[in-house]
Amino acid sequence: MDREPLAIAMGLLRTLSGSMELLVGLLILYWGKVETGLRLNAYLALVGPLVLLLVTALGAIGLIGKGASAGKLLLILVGVGLILYATR
């Protein structure tokens, strides 16, 4: 199976993000303090949207390289924008 470099980058970013989530969950359990948990959760809240934007950008670049229509790319960008707007 031939893997595309952008797909590998997307997967690695998501794996890194998931590993950070798991690590923070374990740290919250280890320290067992609500204040610390909220602080760590706030850091993850900053990382999550950034990872979403980076992975989406990589995917969009890949689609552009394959000749995807402007309409499809616009729908993807609008979808991401709506997700970010709805979660703020």
76-80 long-range contacts (CB < 8 A, ≥24 apart) are 80/52, 80/53, 80/56
CA distance 68 to 48: 26
Domain that holds residue 29: 5-86
The answer on pLDDT for 1 being more than 80 is no
Number of structural domains found in the chain: 1
**Which two structure tokens, joined as six digits, stand for 66?**
């394959």
Percent of the chain with pLDDT over 90: 70
Q: Predicted confidence band at 31 (pLDDT cuts at 50, 70, 90)? A: very high
Residue range 45-74, pLDDT digits in tens: 889 889 999 999 999 999 988 888 889 989
